[in-house]
Amino acid sequence: MKLEIGINNLAFGGNGVGRHDGKAIFVPFTVPGDRIACRIVRDKGRYAEAKLVEILEPGDGRRPAPCPVYGQCGGCQWQHLDYPTQTTWKERIFVDQLARGAGVLSEQVRTLLPAPDEWHYRSRVQFKCHATANGLAIGFYRRGSHFVVDLSSCPITDHRLNAVLGEFRRWLPESPCPDRIPQIDLAVDDHGQVRAVVHCLDPAPERLADFLRPLATSVGLSLFLQIGRKETPIPVCGHDSLTILVDDPPLRLGYGPGGFAQVNLDQNRRLVQEVLGSLAWRGDERVLDLYCGMGNFSLPIARRADSVVGVEDCAPALAWARRNAYRNDLNNLSFHARSAEGALGDLFPAAPPDLVVLDPPRSGAFSVVRELASGQPPAILYVSCDPSTLVRDLSILLHRGYYLHWARPIDLFPQTFHTESAAFLTRRD
């Protein structure tokens, strides 16, 4: 069914929202203020999902998307919005989610921290590969599918990674097993070093390693092969570590192939600085850092606190955290390879630490937050990459004796609806 509606809102997830006969209609690639023609593709009863057919009148903030495969590729949702419009709506959606889901007042939410550059910010990217009758497609999945949209470069990916993508587009079709390569992981660090992890399903991966080694060496590329999902990447050539910089003066944090670092290095530095600068450090704090990874928060905090205990269930990441502490001459940290669940009681049986920092995955930290609510550390700093799970977890703390001093959305992911954030809570007396 074809409808003409006006778009008056944006929803978490990136879709524009209009109404027809009182029913909410969600339409991708629209802007508040648009007057559009759309076609219903899924009627869910209380609401419907529709496909954009025609823009009858464009809304303020609409722009032509610069990427030639925008709308096909599933990586971005908001290239058709200019950047001020993106940041305005990210902040508005974040405030609304916290208000509706956790009763947070708008004055408790600080203004969104925008990115200094909305383009070419991604320092890590995973390109999908698929052998077709027309050659090897390398790119990203189409929205809602596993069809690989072929692309020569990505406008939100670092220029140096786009250059390496071009090399792989030349190399892989001539490789011994182009039909056995499902993915390429590329990353660049703060010193411009690029690392590639090529996933290989061939029963004789050494053939691919021998083929790629001289090519990667010729362009100064560190190269690894990933054989299977759980195995440690196999080195082919180059160094194993990439290095990011945080804090001032800079701390050097290394991480290995398959490891995690934020995709937006400039905004990660600003995120860390926001956290550090918003807390009043006395210098005698005992801190528990849950989901600490390779030490992104642990090491900067250790400069300001008496002691830091880091917890991470990924053993390779924790090994890098220990190595990073040693390399930066910090000796007031200890690290534990274990689940975050139960860590508060196990590691601080006598009395809770002064501050608990947690930076969980997108799924949040429901069980851990319940433990924190019972263990009652005086202060909690929660870093989140998903406002939905943040709201769920904050609700527990706010109903169990904690007060939210501030929350701040931070745009680490321009051109997408995703929002990073930090929130600081203390226990009520």
DSSP state of 70: B
Phi/psi at 202 (5° precision): -75, 140
Q: What is the DSSP string of 371-401?
A: HHHHH--SEEEEEES-HHHHHHHHHHHHTTT
> Which pairing describes strands 286-290 and 355-358: parallel, antiparallel, or unpaired?
parallel
Q: Alpha carbon of 84 to those of 18, 31, 60, 105, 118: distances in Å?
A: 21, 13, 11, 23, 10
Determine contact, residues 127/154, Cβ cutoff 8 Å.
no
Which residue among 38, 67, 73, 385 is the active-site one?
Answer: 385
3-state DSSP call for residue 53? Answer: strand
Instruction: Tell me whether strands 135-141 and 47-57 are parallel, antiparallel or unpaired.
Output: unpaired
Residues 6+ away with beta carbon under 8 Å from 352: 344, 375, 376, 377, 378
- In the 8-state DSSP scheme, what is residue 233? P
**Torsion of the alpha carbons at 183, 364, 112 and 127, rounded to the nearest 10:** 0
The reply to whether 314 belongs to the active site is: no
Contact (CB, 8 A) for 48 and 26? yes
- Residue 56: how many CB atoms within 10 A of its CB? 12
Q: Residue 339: CA atoms inside 13 Å, Cβ hemisphere, count? A: 7
Cis peptide before 84 (omega within 30 of 0): no
**Residue among 207, 252, 246, 202 at smallest CA distance from 227:** 202
Q: Which residues are the active-site residues?
A: 385
